[in-house]
Amino acid sequence: MNVAQIDEFFARLAARNPDPKTELRYSSPFTLLAAVMLSAQATDTSVNKATPALFKAANTPAKMADLGPAGILPYIKTIGLYRTKAKNLAALSQMLVDRHGGEVPADRDALQELPGAGRKTANVVLNTLFGHPTIAVDTHVFRVSNRTGLAPGKDVMAVEAALDEVVPDKWKMGAHHWLILHGRYTCVARLPKCPICPVAELCAFKDKTPPTPASVTPRAKPAVKSRQRDKQTPSSQRRAAKVRSGKRGRG
């Protein structure tokens, strides 16, 4: 895509969703950090089902650290890699208490030092909580960036660098939200919904999903008339039999 096409790409996504936000549910900086960390290699839906009860039991780093891995585990068993995530969440919470006074730091290096919080988590937190124009690259963003030709790259870091270079500044705050949602609901992995895609003509993907042919209504078959014998009374049957025998005799 050229500069004008990229600007139009985001303009169309923004027209559909002017104020994009994460679909993870949270009520504080800490619960957002925890939810993003738990969402690694898992869906936002699965995280949103598990976290209400977890955050009711522990909605601060101190309370979460007190739960410990064993206490966290029962709440997140429905999330992928839950054993590792329980350990990381407990350790992350303890580190926030010990090093940051129980607050979520607004610094990339400090965020990436937290157990289980990689670059993607740091980018989401910096963008969502602190207003940094960072672009988090997950599987959806990676797929959309490569498939459309927006910002091709062989790995996550390459795609992030490419997006940072080509996305106009005015779109950077919402860029990763738009790309995530576009990849989640329209530019899906197996069968992208190209016929309803708002940016289809800007997209470089060669194997676009064709429109579904209009269904052809088959011609209705003519109704088959049932041939039913006339119902006759016993007396009328006898008269009809006499008439038939009389005709045979005259022949």
Known active-site residue 56: no
Residue 220: per-residue pLDDT = 54
Task: Out of 7, 19, 138, 193, pick the active-site residue.
Answer: 138
**Could you say which of 163, 185, 202 is where a domain stops?**
202
pLDDT of the chain, 251 residues: tens digit per residue: 999 999 999 999 999 999 999 999 999 999 999 999 999 999 999 999 999 999 999 999 999 999 999 999 999 999 999 999 999 999 999 999 999 999 999 999 999 999 999 999 999 999 999 999 999 999 999 999 999 999 999 999 999 999 999 999 999 999 999 999 999 999 999 999 999 999 999 999 999 999 977 544 455 555 555 454 444 555 656 665 555 555 554 44
Query: 124 and 55, same structural domain?
Result: yes
Query: 42 and 120, same structural domain?
Result: yes
Query: 140 and 125, same structural domain?
Result: no
Within a domain: residue 237? no
* Tokens 């007190």, residue located: 66
CB 46 within 8 A of CB 36: no
| CB-neighbour burial class of residue 94 (10 A; exposed 0-12, middle 13-18, buried 19+) | middle
Query: 76 and 156, same structural domain?
Result: no
The beta-strand segments (E) located in the chain are: none
pTM above 0.85, yes or no: no
Known active-site residue 120: yes
What distance in Å separates the CA atoms of residue 210 and residue 103, rounded to the nearest whole number? 50
Query: 122 and 41, same structural domain?
Result: yes
Within a domain: residue 44? yes
**Could you say which of 130, 159, 194 is where a domain stops?**
130
* Tokens 């927006």, residue located: 150
Residue 212: per-residue pLDDT = 79
Instruction: State which residues form the domain around 116.
Output: 29-130
CATH of the domain at 142: 1.10.1670.10
Query: 34 and 8, same structural domain?
Result: no
Task: Out of 107, 120, 193, 230, pick the active-site residue.
Answer: 120
Query: 89 and 11, same structural domain?
Result: no
Structural element, H or E, at residue 190: none
Query: 188 and 106, same structural domain?
Result: no
Name the domain count of the chain: 2
CATH of the domain at 57: 1.10.340.30
Residue 90: per-residue pLDDT = 98
